[in-house]
Amino acid sequence: MNPYYRDKLAWVFGGSQGIGLAVAEELVKQGCRVRLWARRSDILEQQATRLKADWTSLDVSDFEATSSAVSTALQSGRDGTPQFVFNCAGLALPGYLVDLSATDIATMNQVNYLGTAYVCKAVLPAMIAQKSGHIVNVSSLGGIMGLFGYTGYCASKYAVMGFSEALRREVVGYGIRVSALCPPNTRTPGLDQENLRKPPEVLAQEEKVQVLEASQVAQYLLKALPSNPFTVIPSFDGRLAHLLSRWAPGILNLFLKRPQAK
């Protein structure tokens, strides 16, 4: 067990499935106490029971509900202030901008960006009083490079990156750390749903890149966090693409631009 996690308390938002659940599973293995938070109480309760974790049903895109639920947990004798907060709640609604509805765009921003900001705002005063903590916000490779077919999604995840970078600088004086996880395509129930609505050329492009298991992402993340990185990219392909996007964007454009219509 890593002493960075042992006997600590972690809150995992979006913890009922996918990367959030995988992170919770790895935390439990490290001897960490965990509370899972997610919208669907049926799945959430099943997973929490399996992991012997506490749980709270919550829609993070609702600030009043988030603030109230976090306040209740903070005041409970069982929880207190968490040492770790993982913001894993999110969704992707791929599609070209001309095909996306205004509701699609708003929903991704409400959950991916605003949900992350709402959780951080709700929990931050207690962490400041505690003078310690580590917040991990899940962005995406689509949060550090624009991907065709993901205009609305990339915008919401870029917002997570900007928010996280600013927050990291804002709270460092309180002993609080902030990191951003930028995974590539990861095998999750969410990815299965995304694939149902991706344009054919987007699916074809993604067949060329590595898909990680959620457990691989979680293991890489927890191994990296003790050194307090800002950006955590858990795949070699992703790290290479990030470097190219910064230093040789012309090369990356050869791979990431939308194929011409025939």
What residues are labeled active site? 139, 153, 157
**Which 3 state secondary structure label does DSSP give 136?**
strand
The first and second tokens of residue 144, run together, are 């550090």
Tokens 């095909």 belong to residue: 99
Residues 203 and 195: their CA atoms lie apart, in Å, by 7
Element containing residue 40 per DSSP (H, E): none
Tell which residue, 219, 111, 260, 232, has the closest CA to residue 161.
Answer: 232
Residues 19 and 188: their CA atoms lie apart, in Å, by 7
Beta-bridge partner residues of 36: 12, 55
What DSSP character marks residue 225?
G
The first and second tokens of residue 242, run together, are 């990030």
Q: Distance from CA of residue 207 to its chain's centroid?
A: 23
Question: Could you tell me the end-to-end alpha-carbon distance of the chain, in angstroms, rounded to an integer?
Answer: 55
